[in-house]
């Protein structure tokens, strides 16, 4: 949180909408099918920071490892989800959120020049996962599986499991073309009402929580008092730069002070050197004077007489 603001990590402000509807819930529970990165474009990160916990389902190995590292208090599962248990070919497009179980979608990506790798993955249904890991209400369920939404939904008994809010990607992968027609009747028939569309996802509310619909009438706006994670990160980077700049200025001031002290010492040393040089010249002059006096004395009659008398 930045000065009390809600920090939004999601790609399309989904977390802002969900927080508006569910912020009265203390330590709620979420299920994220197709969780991807734990921070970047995450619908659940802001909730995790506020003490919520949940299940993150992510079959891409690199994202799964990041989730395990960043979300130690969540349940993180490296499996695929469909309408039946078993194994399926998973089509991975590395370092993107576009990996899919849908063969037609994978073929389109290949045709467009994307690198697509294949691997067999264990597949579970949402019913199996919820049966094993859920002991209370699911406050929201988000599904983003790149064209495989229908299969995921058909493996979920919405008569038994009643997530308060469903957030389901409703466009063809990597496209704005709507694709919800073949699975939305299943959701509506389970006593869910479609209450909001953000152009990418459709939001549904369970009939028994219909009062929440009023909170999802309008898109994210100034009254949600939120800040994008990218903006927060930029501000944090700026603050770090300012701290570094102050440290540099402090170091520079200390070095200038050292230089000033050195200049004082150098001037004092130069003055002492001049004084010593003057004293040396003075001593040299006195030595010459004494030598002259000595020579004069040696040339005097007294010295000569004294030498004969053995006095010198």
- We report the CATH number of the domain holding residue 204 as 3.40.50.150
The domain boundary, picked from 169, 202, 224, lies at: 224
Please check whether residues 117 and 243 belong to one and the same domain: no
The domain boundary, picked from 224, 251, 268, lies at: 224
Residue 310 located in a structural domain: no
pLDDT of 273 > 90? The answer is no
pLDDT of 7 > 70? The answer is yes
Please check whether residues 201 and 288 belong to one and the same domain: no
Chain segment 83-125, per-residue pLDDT in tens: 999 988 888 888 777 888 777 887 877 887 878 888 888 999 9
Higher-pLDDT residue of 264 and 312 is: 264
Pair 63, 33: CB distance under 8 Å: no
pLDDT of 240 > 70? The answer is yes
Domain boundaries, position 132: 6-224
3-state secondary structure of 218: coil
Residue 99 located in a structural domain: yes
Please check whether residues 174 and 119 belong to one and the same domain: yes
Helices 229-299 & 301-309 angle (0-180, nearest 10): 70
Average pLDDT over residues 245-264: 83
pLDDT at res. 11: 94
Average pLDDT over residues 295-311: 78
Residue 230 located in a structural domain: no
Please check whether residues 151 and 99 belong to one and the same domain: yes
Please check whether residues 196 and 257 belong to one and the same domain: no
pLDDT at res. 247: 83
Average pLDDT over residues 299-307: 77
Please check whether residues 251 and 214 belong to one and the same domain: no
Residues 75, 29: Cα–Cα separation, whole Å: 11
Please check whether residues 44 and 130 belong to one and the same domain: yes
Residue 232 located in a structural domain: no
Please check whether residues 213 and 296 belong to one and the same domain: no
Residue 312 located in a structural domain: no
Please check whether residues 115 and 171 belong to one and the same domain: yes
The domain boundary, picked from 165, 192, 224, lies at: 224
Residue 203 located in a structural domain: yes
- The number of distinct structural domains making up the chain is 2
Give the global pTM. 0.77
Residue 199 located in a structural domain: yes
Residues sharing a CB contact under 8 Å with residue 33, sequence separation 6 or more, in sequence order: 57, 81, 126, 141, 142, 143, 144, 145, 152
Please check whether residues 262 and 295 belong to one and the same domain: yes
Residues 121, 126: Cα–Cα separation, whole Å: 15
Pair 34, 60: CB distance under 8 Å: no
Q: Average model confidence (pLDDT) for the chain?
A: 90
Higher-pLDDT residue of 245 and 203 is: 203
| Element holding 75 (H helix, E strand) | strand 75-77
Residues 267, 35: Cα–Cα separation, whole Å: 69
Average pLDDT over residues 166-175: 91
Please check whether residues 78 and 179 belong to one and the same domain: yes
Please check whether residues 109 and 55 belong to one and the same domain: yes
Q: Over pLDDT 90: what percentage of the chain?
A: 58
Residue 311 located in a structural domain: no
pLDDT of 1 > 70? The answer is no
pLDDT at res. 89: 85
Residues 142, 31: Cα–Cα separation, whole Å: 6
């Amino acid at each position: 949180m930045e000065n009390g603001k809600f920090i939004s990590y999601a790609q399309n402000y989904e977390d802002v909408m969900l927080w508006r509807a569910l912020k009265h819930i203390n330590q709620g529970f979420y299920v994220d099918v197709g969780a991807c990165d734990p921070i970047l474009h995450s619908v659940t990160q802001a909730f995790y920071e506020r003490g919520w916990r949940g299940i993150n389902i992510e079959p891409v190995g690199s994202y799964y490892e990041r989730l395990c590292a960043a979300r130690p208090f969540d349940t993180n599962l490296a499996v695929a989800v469909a309408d039946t248990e078993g194994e399926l070919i998973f089509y991975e497009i590395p370092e993107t959120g576009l990996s899919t179980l849908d063969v037609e979608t994978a073929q389109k990506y290949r045709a467009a020049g994307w690198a697509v790798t294949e691997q067999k993955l264990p597949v579970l249904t949402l019913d199996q996962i919820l049966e094993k890991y859920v002991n209370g209400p699911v406050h929201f369920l988000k599904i983003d599986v790149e064209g495989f939404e229908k299969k995921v939904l058909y493996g979920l008994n919405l008569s038994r499991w009643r997530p308060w809010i469903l957030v389901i990607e409703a466009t063809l992968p990597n496209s704005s073309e709507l694709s919800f027609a073949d699975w939305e009747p299943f959701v509506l028939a389970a006593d869910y009402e479609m209450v909001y569309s953000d152009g990418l996802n459709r939001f549904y509310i369970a009939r028994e929580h219909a009062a929440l619909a009023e909170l999802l009438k309008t898109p994210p706006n100034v009254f949600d008092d939120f800040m994008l994670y990218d903006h927060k990160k930029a501000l944090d980077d700026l603050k770090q730069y300012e701290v570094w700049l102050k440290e540099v200025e402090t170091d520079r001031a200390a070095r200038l002070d050292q230089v000033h002290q050195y200049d004082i010492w150098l001037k004092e040393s130069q003055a002492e050197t001049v004084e010593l040089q003057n004293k040396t010249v003075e001593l040299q002059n006195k030595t010459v004077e004494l030598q002259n006096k000595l020579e004069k004395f040696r040339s005097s009659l007294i010295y000569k007489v004294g030498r004969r008398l053995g006095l010198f």
